[in-house]
Structure formats: C-alpha cells, structure tokens
Amino acid sequence: MFTRSIPLLAVLLLACSGTASSTLDTASGGGTGSPSAGAGGQSTFDGSSTSDGPAVGVTTATSSSSGSGGMSTQLGCFDEPPADAPPLSALVDATGCPDVKAGANTVDNRTFLLAVPSDLQPDEKLPVVFLWHWLGGSGQGFLNKAEVQTAVDHYRFIGVAMEAKGDLPFKWPFLSASTPVVGNSEKRVQEDLSFFDRTLACVNHSFNINRQCISSVGVSAGALFTQVLAGKRSEVLSSFESLSGGEGDPVRSWNEGPRALPAMVLWGGPTDSCAGIFSFDQLSKSLANKLAKNEHFLLECIHNCGHSVPPFEPLPSSPTTFGVMWEFVLDHPRWLKAGDSPWLKKGFPEGFPSWCSMGVGKATPRVGACKEKSSC
C-alpha cells in the first residue's frame, strides 16, 4: 500500500496542495481500469467550477411541500425504533454552544457548515449526516458539489460539513503514528474526535435531531479520517461511507469499535491512487475485508474511474446525482443488528449502480469510458 519511501510524502504535499485538482474533484461519467479524458472539461469538487451554483449552507431554496420534501420512498431512519433498539449513548456537554443555524457556525474555535431543509417543520426530527472533505477541498465545496441543499430538502436531514483546522498537510489526522509527518499524534486525533463530539452536541442543542440516524461520509482524505471516526464512535454513529479511502499503512489501521456499522466502501478501481503513495484500491480492499470479518453489513462499489467523482446516475427516487449516498445512510438506522440491512430483504433501490454489491469481493467493476481523467 505504501508504495514509496516516507520522504516522498513531501513530494505529495507539493503536488496536491497547489492549484492542481485534488481528491475526487473531476466529474466522471464512466469507467475502465484506465480512465480516459473526455471532452466535457474538468470541474473541481471544491466548488470552483461555475457549474456548481450558489454557495450551499444558507437556505435559499423554496419548497411547496409541508415537510415532506417530495420523498417517495420510505427509508428506515424515518421508521419508529423497535422496542429492543439499543439505548442511546450520552452526548458531550453542550455548554458554550452557539445558536446553531444554517450556514457557517463556530464551536471551540472550529468551523462547521450546516445545510437544513429550507421548509423545516417544527415537529420534524431529522437524521444528521457529517461530511468530511478531501485534500484541497472545503466544507463549502462538499456542500456545493454533492448538491447537499437539494438532498436535505428532498430527503429531510441535516448536513454538517466539517472544516479542517488547517494545521495538517493532509487536512485530517489519519496517518499512522509511525509516519514521520506532523500531526499524527493520538492527541491530534482526539482533537478532531472532540470536534465531532462537540459539533453533534451543539446541533442537538439547537435542532430536534434523530439520534438513531447519525452517519459520516468522507471523501479521500476525509474518508481516511472517517474510518478512524467510525471505529472510535461506533456507539454514536448509525453508518458510514468511505469514498476513495481505506485503512492500513501509512494510514491508521481500522480500530474495531463496540458496534458493527453498516458501511459503504467505494473506490475507483486499480487506478485510484494519489502520486503513487496512497493506493486507494488496496486501502479500500483492506478496509472492506476487515469490516466483513467483523460482521459489518458491507456495500462495496467499484466505479473504475480512478480518483474522481463517482459516476452516479440520479435514482428515480432522487432529484440529485448522489441519491445513492443519501439513501444508503438514511436506510440504515442505528438499531439494526450486526450484519443486517433492509436491503438484504428488499434489494437495492430502483436504478442502483450495477457496479455495487453487498458483501466483500462481490462487486463487478464498472466497464466503460470515463468522461474525465483521474486526478489527485
């Protein structure tokens, strides 16, 4: 996995911290093991493309619905918890929390951005999805590119885009402690875990949230930290998604927590790598194998477009390109038992990608040309 010597991490920093496109930042439409560039141009995942539209987080959309958002499919997070649902874990103290609102918020000198339904109803109890951005990205870029405002209006959840502190070369503290790069200490990991804890407590303080459905979605660098978070906070989370992430040297190893979480592990096939140092193909396979061995329900997806935006197509049930992401986390509430999923009985939602499959090693990699070349 760690295919070059440690000193080359410095080369990666120079390559990825400048103006070059970074993690999952090209719009893709297909995939083979050798992605080819198309004629559509390159759009960055950090929101710099003019096609990304207005900033998301401050609610600007309007809706004629009354809290329904137009969602036609009943997802598990909106069911009543069963009588035998496990008790909720206590949240940290909310003392000192701001009055959290849509847009940018600050807690303990850290920033997070909130996207809430534009027609939020007083009696709504909403799931929460934490979003961790990629190298070279931002919380606002994640909100823009993933069409989060459209998603929260339709599916009825709160999106929380976390902003990196800015002190680490790889944005989030996911490198193994033995890797000689600044910010790998356990203390620094605990700092971002506390950022998650306090943000959740503050959101809970200001909104009526569904604590049976708190999930985490990370992209590339954000995905590498999401697997750290998922292991450390399995008693709080209901599910997680690793999009071009993984575990294993030089990344921190998966740390199995008290609860097995439903997980989506997605990557771009053999060419999904960064500067020859991070092989997301190997890292993702390693994570998928460990999750399967520990009885996590696993959705494995291989789009074969390298390190680029997953080539999702809109589901019939979704107004956004990324309905696959949202429907996974919103259909897997916290009360599911280890290894269980409603999809084991009812199958995938209509229009689900053929390159995704339940279980480790069962996904059939996507075949076809990619519209955009892979980039790091």
Segment 236-276, tens digit of pLDDT? 999 999 999 999 999 999 999 999 999 999 999 999 998 77
Measured CA angle at 27 (ends 23, 33), to 5 deg: 75
Crossing angle of the two packed helices 148-155 and 323-330, in degrees rounded to 10 = 40
177-199 mean pLDDT: 89
Query: Can you tell me the distance from the alpha carbon of 372 to that of 276, in angstroms, rounded to the nearest whole number?
Result: 19
Segment 350-359, tens digit of pLDDT? 999 999 999 9
* pLDDT bucket at 1, cuts 50 / 70 / 90: very low
Question: Does residue 17 lie in a domain region?
Answer: no
Question: Does residue 338 lie in a domain region?
Answer: yes
| DSSP state letter for 135 | T
Question: Does residue 376 lie in a domain region?
Answer: no
Q: How, if at all, do strands 126-132 and 158-162 pair? A: parallel
Question: Does residue 65 lie in a domain region?
Answer: no
Query: Residue 84, exposed/middle/buried by CB under 10 A (0-12, 13-18, 19+)?
Result: exposed
Look at residue 73 in the predicted model and tell me its pLDDT: 67
Q: Is the pLDDT score of 336 beyond 80?
A: yes
Of 67-71, 90-94, 184-188, 263-267, least confident by mean pLDDT is: 67-71
192-212 mean pLDDT: 98
Look at residue 23 in the predicted model and tell me its pLDDT: 38
Do 317 and 349 contact (CB within 8 A), yes or no?
A: yes
Q: Is the pLDDT score of 182 beyond 80?
A: no
The pair of three-digit structure tokens given for residue 204, joined into one six-digit string = 């809970």
> What's the half-sphere exposure (Cβ side, CA atoms, 13 Å) at 192?
28
Q: Is the pLDDT score of 21 beyond 60?
A: no
Q: Is the pLDDT score of 9 beyond 50?
A: no
Look at residue 195 in the predicted model and tell me its pLDDT: 98
Look at residue 71 in the predicted model and tell me its pLDDT: 54
Question: Does residue 327 lie in a domain region?
Answer: yes
Q: Is the pLDDT score of 146 beyond 80?
A: yes
Do 367 and 33 contact (CB within 8 A), yes or no?
A: no
Helix, coil or strand: residue 151:
helix
In sequence order, which residues have a C-beta less than 8 Å from that of residue 51 and are 6 or more positions away?
43
Query: Can you tell me the distance from the alpha carbon of 127 to that of 177, in angstroms, rounded to the nearest whole number?
Result: 33
Token pair 């996911």 is at which residue?
Answer: 174
Do 20 and 307 contact (CB within 8 A), yes or no?
A: no
Look at residue 294 in the predicted model and tell me its pLDDT: 97
Segment 303-334, tens digit of pLDDT? 999 999 999 999 999 999 999 999 999 999 99
Question: Does residue 343 lie in a domain region?
Answer: yes
Could you give the percent of the chain with pLDDT greater than 70?
80
Q: Is the pLDDT score of 178 beyond 50?
A: yes
Look at residue 327 in the predicted model and tell me its pLDDT: 98
Domain that holds residue 101: 29-60+94-358
Segment 282-304, tens digit of pLDDT? 999 999 999 999 999 999 999 99
Q: How, if at all, do strands 263-267 and 273-274 pair? A: unpaired
Segment 90-107, tens digit of pLDDT? 999 999 999 999 999 999
Question: Does residue 366 lie in a domain region?
Answer: no
Q: What are phi and psi of 243, to 5 degrees?
A: -105, 105
CATH at residue 241: 3.40.50.1820
Helix, coil or strand: residue 220:
coil
* pLDDT bucket at 346, cuts 50 / 70 / 90: very high
Q: Which candidate, 75, 325, 331, 100, places its Cα nearest to that of 208?
A: 100
Measured CA angle at 299 (ends 219, 137), to 5 deg: 5
The pair of three-digit structure tokens given for residue 131, joined into one six-digit string = 């979003």
Q: Is the pLDDT score of 112 beyond 90?
A: yes
* Partners of residue 267 on adjacent β-strands: 302
116-123 mean pLDDT: 96
Segment 120-129, tens digit of pLDDT? 999 999 999 9
Q: Is the pLDDT score of 84 beyond 60?
A: yes
Query: Can you tell me the distance from the alpha carbon of 174 to that of 188, in angstroms, rounded to the nearest whole number?
Result: 10
Do 127 and 214 contact (CB within 8 A), yes or no?
A: yes
Query: Can you tell me the distance from the alpha carbon of 323 to that of 66, in angstroms, rounded to the nearest whole number?
Result: 21
Helix or strand (DSSP H, E) at 219:
strand 209-219
Query: Residue 169, exposed/middle/buried by CB under 10 A (0-12, 13-18, 19+)?
Result: middle
Question: Does residue 306 lie in a domain region?
Answer: yes
> Mean pLDDT score of the chain, rounded to an integer?
84
* pLDDT bucket at 42, cuts 50 / 70 / 90: very low
Domain tally, the chain: 1
Q: What is the dihedral of CA 239, 46, 13, 282, to 10 degrees?
A: 40
